[in-house]
A and B are shown apart, each in its own frame.
Chain A
């Protein structure tokens, strides 16, 4: 999307303009004209919605100028507002990294997942999404290997599709093995697209394997040994690939598990800014941080003043005043009235 010319973009980032629109900043005014007109906040509009499988939704989105691009395999944090609350999830764009105009995201609906099921049901062209900068180091080598194996399980297909499409747009001549594991053939994502590419490019060798019906696991015969392997999927798949390709580039994801049965959960608290970890003990997160030798900011210690509010980057916590359990990424929480439910990472 080209919302502003480069010169007006520069002008809007000028320090003098910043003083004039202070203290709120230029984006808080521009967004009132059009939400995607912002120059600092990366945002996107959904322009197309399709549903490849019964448990997924694919969005084509149009990012604004503030979005600075990505490399194949990286992820972007995507925020969507549902009933007044912003939910943020990480997704890997599934297009070539050389395609800067439109992005594509494929979102798998998980059991009980709020964002996936909401998007599958409600995503329409025009929906506003909030984006972060791209991050992540699941990347192909800058000097592309001659023979590449892209291996994925479930929704792990999203970064490998981006890699395949990037290689195709670069005119890659070497062999590309594309191996994908899904529960049933119904769950195969991007099968039509990959087979269409393979039809045009004989160097692309696709394999789609249904784990429930075929039971065929990754082994020495799946991909020739000359490949540079990249794998994204559940830990069991990574282990299987590493058994054959010890140097494989790998990224795993584990769906969050919720344990609200016990009083104090077993697990680890990580205080990121202080580089301190501690096993979960009894008490609020504030008390546990103090027990770990930290002195986070706080005020009333009773949930009134928000003086202790800090960012929880991962994990599930329970608000002891309201009983509300939340597992949002990058969520502001009051640590004086929050107890951990799972492993928790805090930015203190």
Chain B
């Protein structure tokens, strides 16, 4: 059964796709000097903050320098991961043909090897967005984020696991493509090459943040180390918060592999719109969130420079209104509050998971185009909640 919404006919969905394609073509044809200038300006700011932060933390035993250094390094790492790394690796700047902005070559200041991220995120998550059992970003394999997920006593700790994932997010992301949860349950073999790559990247990052820069500070080493660790954790909390607000607030939909099988381009667009949520905020907030606060626009046009999402969003909103589609958005505290409420609710065994409602079998289907034989018949559509 193809993805649809409300009273939309297949022709409506096709028209929707054509309208979005038209926006895409227009924006792509407008890309030029100002987009490159923008990202280079962000990069200059990030590198400047990084150098300043590390320099201050070499004298971290002086409290103002510790605070200033930790703040500068935290912001530098957030900019590096979000507005620069995430977006460059999506190919948003490949058209510039600048090797420093090349999606295939870029490496970022976090534990996850860029190559593995490009696979788990750009391909798995962006192609199979919010398809249960295919989009591994749903719960990251360790949380219960959907009523369709079978409850086990392990999920009593849903809030605790989410909090740990938040604090250690960079390591969670690093292990993501390894599918360690599947490895632990014996469903998948451990990929040693990938594990070695992760080890090498984690090692280099740890050497830099926890050995070399602290040692250079001499007797002030513990202060430098504490500052670097704090910056990494601040970055972890921030990126976790932004990313979890992208797909898990109230009203965001999930899909079954059967629904997404053989979908058209219009249906793909529709799934991206129904499966994503935005966060409202000022310009600085959008930059610090890598413009992932425009998650809906990002999922429609993942390889268009993110600075363009703000202006595109007015058109997307207007399209949503015209087609009667929800446009899920809200301030950070509300979106994040609703995410944590969901995490808490889903730790309880009696929420969701009614056997008759379970439309999705415990086995992972091979691909969306090959639904597993004997799939339980769909009993009811999930509730559709407009924002």
Binding site for B on A (CB under 8 A): 16, 19-20, 22-24, 28-29, 32, 41, 79, 81, 83-88, 299-300, 302, 304-307, 309, 322, 328, 331-332, 334
Contact = CB atoms under 8 A, between A and B. Distances in A.
Interface of B: 25, 28-29, 31-37, 43-44, 47-48, 51, 90-91, 94-100, 102-104, 107-109, 114, 118-119, 122-123, 126-127, 204-205, 207-208, 212-213, 265, 268, 302-303
Given A20-B213, A22-B208, A304-B303, A84 B103 contact: no
B103 A309 contact: yes
Contacts of A83: 32-33
Contact of B95 (A32, A85, A300): A85
Contacts of B118: 305-307
A328 B108 CA distance: 28
B104 A306 contact: yes
27 contacts: A22-B204, A23-B107, A28-B47, A29-B51, A32-B48, A83-B32, A84-B31, A84-B32, A84-B35, A84-B96, A85-B95, A85-B96, A85-B97, A86-B97, A299-B122, A300-B123, A302-B268, A304-B127, A304-B302, A305-B118, A305-B127, A305-B302, A307-B123, A309-B91, A309-B103, A332-B97, A334-B91
A20 B100 contact: no
A23 B48 CA distance: 15
A144 B249 CA distance: 76
Contact of A332 (B104, B122, B204): B104
A305 B25 contact: no
B32 to A, nearest CB: 5
A305 B122 contact: yes
A306 B109 CA distance: 21
Contacts of B94: 306, 309, 332
Given A306-B104, A309-B94, A332-B104, A19 B126 contact: no
A331 B98 CA distance: 10
A300 B4 CA distance: 21
B119 A299 contact: yes
Contacts of A300: 123, 126-127
A25 to B, nearest CB: 9
A325 to B, nearest CB: 13
Question: Which 6 pairs of residues, A with B, have the shortest CB-CB distance?
Answer: A299-B123, A306-B91, A84-B36, A23-B107, A86-B97, A305-B122
Given A28-B47, A84-B32, A300-B126, A306 B90 contact: yes
Contacts, number: 100
Given A28-B47, A328-B97, A309 B104 contact: yes
A20 B99 CA distance: 21
Nearest to B21: A321
A249 B43 CA distance: 47
B102 A332 contact: yes
Contacts of A309: 91, 94, 103-104
B369 to A, nearest CB: 12
Contacts of A328: 97
Contacts of A32: 44, 47-48
Contacts of A85: 32, 95-97
Contacts of B98: 81, 86
A333 to B, nearest CB: 9
A41 B302 CA distance: 30
Contact of B25 (A16, A88, A302, A322): A322
Contacts of B99: 41
Most buried by B among A299, A305, A328, A332: A305
A316 to B, nearest CB: 15
Given A86-B97, A300-B126, A306-B122, 16 more contacts: A16-B212, A23-B107, A41-B99, A81-B36, A84-B35, A85-B32, A299-B127, A304-B302, A305-B123, A305-B126, A305-B302, A306-B90, A306-B303, A309-B104, A322-B29, A334-B91
Contacts of B31: 84
A46 B212 CA distance: 39
A87 B95 CA distance: 11
B302 A86 contact: no
B54 to A, nearest CB: 8
A307 B212 contact: no
Contacts of A41: 99
Nearest to B37: A84
Contacts of B25: 322
